[in-house]
Amino acid sequence: MTGTVEQETKRGRVRRLFIDPLKEGGMRSPSRTDAGAERSFLDRVCDELARLSDDELMAMRRWAETNGDGSAKRFWPAFVAIAGIAQTLHPRPLEELPELASWFGSRKGPALSHSSGLLVAHFRYIQIHRHPPTRPDVEKAVEKRAAELQAEWLRAIELRERGRPYDEPFFAAYERDLARAQKLVDAGVHKRTEGGAV
């Protein structure tokens, strides 16, 4: 017996785990919504949720089941509400948000590069909060966290070099976030150099 395995699209996966079960449960658009507008809305929802894992999509579905719009809670929630919950469950990567990524490419990013802890702590803060730390008390808290992170990272390096057990998940996450942040800094420096604004 021969057969082909169809590759599920990103939108198809979101429809299977989020859209279709909600439709089967009675979720719909208001009656005056035309089919094209509903299709466009649901495509936009699919694109927004494509980065979520299967478990995160099921969590989104559970949320939507009790947070529909309208008096009967059976209309699709507003896109902004769906996007907000998705952001809480699985933040959109900074690399996809030019207005935030550019902060690392400004003069601020290279100034942090002397300390991997500062770069990682700022990257993680911005990833979660969607803005750089601007208040002095918040900046101080980020700097404190940076020192803790860098100390833990240096300790992990030392233990690894001695063949001793170390926190491998922490180490891998730190290295990953450091590489991502440094790439944003380097891209900004390159852009400024090409533009003659070094």
The H-or-E segment that residue 174 falls in is: helix 168-194
pLDDT of residue 6: 67
In the chain, which stretches have pLDDT less than 50? Answer: 1-2, 198
Rounded distance between C-alpha atoms, residue 51 and residue 152, angstroms: 30
Least Cα distance to 151 among 121, 129, 176, 128 occurs for 121
Rounded distance between C-alpha atoms, residue 9 and residue 14, angstroms: 9
pLDDT of residue 1: 45
> Computed from CA positions of residues 53, 183, 175, 126, in that sequence, does the dihedral angle turn out positive or negative?
negative
pLDDT of residue 190: 81
**Domain residue spans of the chain:** 10-89, 94-194
Burial class (CB in 10 A: 0-12, 13-18, 19+), 112: buried
Q: Percent of the chain scored above 70 by pLDDT?
A: 95
Rounded distance between C-alpha atoms, residue 79 and residue 183, angstroms: 31
